[in-house]
Amino acid sequence: MSSQVIPTTESSSLYTNLEEMSTTDLLKNINQEDQKVAKAVQKIIPNIKKLVDAASKKMQSGGRLFYIGAGTSGRLGILDASEIPPTYGASPNLVVGLIAGGDSAIRTAVEGAEDDPNQAWKDLKQFGINEKDTLIGIAASGKTPYVFGGLQVAQENGVLTGSISCNKDALISSVADFPIEVEVGPEFVTGSTRMKAGTAQKLVLNMISTSLMIKLGKVKGNKMVNMQLSNNKLVDRGVRMVMEEIPELDYQAALKLLTLYGSVKKAVEAYQSK
């Protein structure tokens, strides 16, 4: 990518004098820009499919999924990873999110953390990453050294690599087996990639992890049959799922069965195997 070309994530906003806009105009214009994001993601579904299919094969053979990123990108990866265990009952080690600067960077920016191209691999090695696993690097700009360096060494070590960026011909695409580039255009506030770029990354991460969990058998029909029963709302939802699968059970009987086996899937399987 030529240094003379301004990446679209850094190019000037299509709007000006933002401070003079009314609240209504601010909200309408931000929303107008947000509507472009889903369309941009739609265009690159074939690339997302390739990554999902490749990662699925790895995970079905016992591999894990790792995300690396800095700033907003890193936080989005951690968010996606952290929601897998409660939603799908998976081990917290199945999908792991890492951020430049460590866990403290989740809440507070760590100066210079993203500029070290060697740190990501050091972080990944603590988890014993290997050729069975998949690594996805997330960087709106597509050139974050922490992400580029991690992907580069991972690729050299036989790890399946993917990337999510928001610029065409992103640098990290060159070290990703399956690059994903979502071109969302200039941000409403120039360069504020927590906005459209962040939304695009979140949409793609949702698509990737949800598809993978479905392929791993974590969903039945359209229901989260392996979800963790961590609060009353989820227990109630689980009971009703059991009742849908086993109509002859009333609420209390379904609750007793669910409590005994700990998940909708196990409860239903146990009952139907009798």
Indicate which residues carry an active-site annotation: 83, 114
Angle between helices 23-43 and 45-60 (to 10 degrees): 60
CB 230: neighbour CB atoms within 10 A? 10
Are 265 and 220 in contact by the 8 Å Cβ rule? The answer is yes
**CA 87, CA 1: separation in Å to the nearest integer?**
39
CA 124 to chain centre: 17
Edge-to-edge strand order for the sheet containing 178-181? 95-99, 65-69, 134-138, 160-165, 178-181
Structure tokens at 32: 């107008």
99: left (phi over 0), alpha (psi -120 to 50) or beta: beta
CA 210 to CA 212: how far, in whole Å?
5
Q: How far apart are CA 174 and CA 161, in angstroms?
A: 10
Q: At what angle do helices 232-245 and 264-272 cross, to 10 degrees?
A: 30
Distance (Å, whole) CA 120 – CA 146:
6
Parallel, antiparallel or unpaired: strands 95-99 and 65-69 = parallel
Residue with tokens 């109509």: 247
Question: 11: which DSSP letter?
Answer: S
